């Protein structure tokens, strides 16, 4: 039976809910929070995740993301020199005390942003990349829209207090995931506990205390102002699974770190990543009247499954394939499915799709084939 459905490669239907049914309420002391798994983007726990709140310096995740995208695309290099403007030097708050016209490399400025949340370096990088802070903010909001950050409006690259500068725990998780998933080199900076700049003249100590005190911590960014209170996007990896814990508007610095640990501990204790594969080789499917005799099915979705740990041991994989197809067959056309279950519960339903297109034979091609068969048969 021919199906015209084209399946995106990322399509996997999981049964894990945004806030797991029956999950105990966690002792998180914040206005909003969220726990997300990096590879799948699945939300494991959330409270008030779409509430618009001030993010303080957690804003800088977007500044860092745009900088890393420029580096990884070749538009910017780590050893490029960035010149500090008078405006960049006027930021106040967390900074490394840049002097007007002082030059540091992109690497050093990025390090200062990641480790000590330097406002002056954030603006200097923004001006270097976009020509002005305002032009960079426009890029920030454009990128936020592309990532589906519908709760977010950025007003500056730093997170310093400004009317209308808001985001949500969910949106912070989205941009955090984009950064750590597609720009893993950022770990060189976000995992630094202590370092120096200016040939040792300027000391740096990470504002994210989890880097030193939490097993597997990989980043990511702290933030605090009087209005935003204490905020954090914390990332950590154990046993090949990386989690993102977002805390917004926690009453104290200690509470934000402890709350992030509660979320991360819950995720690592309760969930696991595993790779599911077909129990046997996927057989080619015959195609009637096609310019190829068969089409090869392949997985049309990710084979990485996130599931509660108690369900992993009992995983069962079931295959369904079409017995035959009639040409034409489109590349990406669904030709079956692979269902993953545990204890009778469906955890994933991954489509099988045609690896390549198969065109239908023309009248003359059919005639020539018939004549060849008749000639050979005689």
pLDDT 10s digits, 163-177: 999 999 999 999 999
Which pLDDT band, with edges at 50, 70 and 90, does 62 fall under? very high
* CA distance linking residue 10 with residue 243, whole number of Å: 19
* CA distance linking residue 268 with residue 174, whole number of Å: 20
pLDDT at 178: 98
Any residues with CB less than 8 A from the CB of 236 and at least 6 apart, and which?
210, 214, 215, 216, 217, 218, 242, 243, 245, 264, 268
Q: What are phi and psi of 110, to 5 degrees?
A: -65, -40
- 328 cis-preceded (ω within 30 degrees of 0): yes
Instruction: Give me the chain's average pLDDT, please.
Output: 91
Which pLDDT band, with edges at 50, 70 and 90, does 376 fall under? low
* Overall residue count recorded for the chain in this entry: 378
Which pLDDT band, with edges at 50, 70 and 90, does 377 fall under? low
Of 344, 308, 346, nearest in space to 23 by CA: 308
Which pLDDT band, with edges at 50, 70 and 90, does 290 fall under? confident
Query: In this structure, what token pair is assigned to residue 85?
Result: 């403007």
- Within 10 angstroms of residue 314's Cβ, the number of other Cβ atoms is 11
Q: What is the residue whose two structure tokens read 């990543």?
A: 273
Residue 157 has pLDDT above 60, yes or no: yes
Q: What is the reported pTM?
A: 0.87
* CA distance linking residue 327 with residue 99, whole number of Å: 69
For 371, counting Cβ atoms within 10 Å of its Cβ (0-12 exposed, 13-18 middle, 19+ buried), the class is exposed
Half-sphere exposure of 354 (CA within 13 A, CB side): 28
- 348 and 339 in contact (C-beta within 8 Å)? yes
Of 98, 113, 108, 104, nearest in space to 59 by CA: 113
Condensed to tens digits (0 to 9), the pLDDT of residues 1-16 reads 333 333 222 222 222 3
Condensed to tens digits (0 to 9), the pLDDT of residues 167-214 reads 999 999 999 999 999 999 999 999 999 999 999 999 999 999 999 999
Residue positions annotated with a catalytic role? 57, 60, 117
- Name the least confident of 85-94, 167-176, 220-229, 313-322: 313-322
E strands present in 51-131: 81-83, 103-105
Of 91, 205, 78, 208, nearest in space to 157 by CA: 91
Which pLDDT band, with edges at 50, 70 and 90, does 366 fall under? low
- 139 and 156 in contact (C-beta within 8 Å)? no
- Within 10 angstroms of residue 345's Cβ, the number of other Cβ atoms is 11
Of 257, 247, 351, 360, nearest in space to 298 by CA: 351
Nearest-10 crossing angle of helices 119-130, 106-116: 140
Strands 304-308 and 325-326: unpaired
């Amino acid at each position: 039976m021919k199906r015209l459905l084209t399946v995106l490669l990322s399509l996997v239907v999981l049964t894990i809910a945004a806030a797991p049914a029956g999950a105990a309420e966690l002792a998180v002391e914040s206005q909003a929070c969220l726990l997300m798994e990096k590879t799948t983007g699945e939300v494991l726990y959330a409270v008030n995740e779409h509430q618009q709140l001030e993010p303080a310096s957690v804003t800088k995740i977007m500044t860092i993301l745009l900088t890393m995208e420029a580096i990884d695309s070749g538009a910017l290099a780590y050893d490029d020199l960035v010149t500090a403007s008078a405006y960049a030097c006027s930021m106040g708050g967390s900074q490394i005390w840049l002097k007007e016209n002082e030059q540091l490399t992109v690497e050093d400025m990025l390090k200062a942003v990641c480790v000590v949340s330097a406002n002056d370096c954030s603006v200097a990088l923004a001006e270097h990349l976009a020509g002005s802070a305002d032009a960079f903010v426009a890029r920030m909001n454009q990128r936020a829209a592309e990532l589906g950050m519908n709760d977010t409006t950025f007003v500056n690259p730093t997170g310093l207090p400004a009317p209308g500068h808001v985001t949500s725990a969910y949106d912070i998780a989205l941009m955090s995931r984009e950064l750590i998933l597609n720009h893993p080199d950022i770990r060189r900076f976000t995992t630094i506990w202590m370092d120096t700049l200016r040939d040792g003249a300027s000391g740096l100590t990470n504002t994210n205390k989890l880097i030193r005190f939490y097993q597997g911590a990989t980043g990511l960014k702290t933030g605090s102002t009087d209005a935003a209170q204490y905020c954090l996007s914390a990332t950590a990896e154990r046993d090949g699974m990386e989690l993102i814990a977002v805390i917004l508007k926690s009453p104290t610095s200690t509470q934000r770190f402890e709350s992030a640990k509660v979320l991360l501990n819950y995720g690592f204790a309760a969930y696991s990543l595993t790779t599911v594969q077909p129990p046997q080789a996927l057989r080619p499917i015959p195609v009637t009247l096609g310019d190829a005799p068969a089409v090869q099915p392949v997985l049309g979705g990710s084979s990485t499954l996130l599931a509660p740990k108690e369900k992993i041991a009992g995983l069962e994989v079931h295959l369904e394939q079409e017995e035959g197809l009639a040409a034409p067959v489109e590349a990406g056309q669904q030709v079956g499915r692979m269902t993953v279950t545990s204890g009778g519960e469906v955890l994933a339903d991954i489509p099988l799709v045609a690896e390549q297109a198969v065109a239908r034979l023309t009248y003359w091609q059919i005639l020539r084939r018939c004549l060849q068969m008749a000639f050979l048969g005689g």
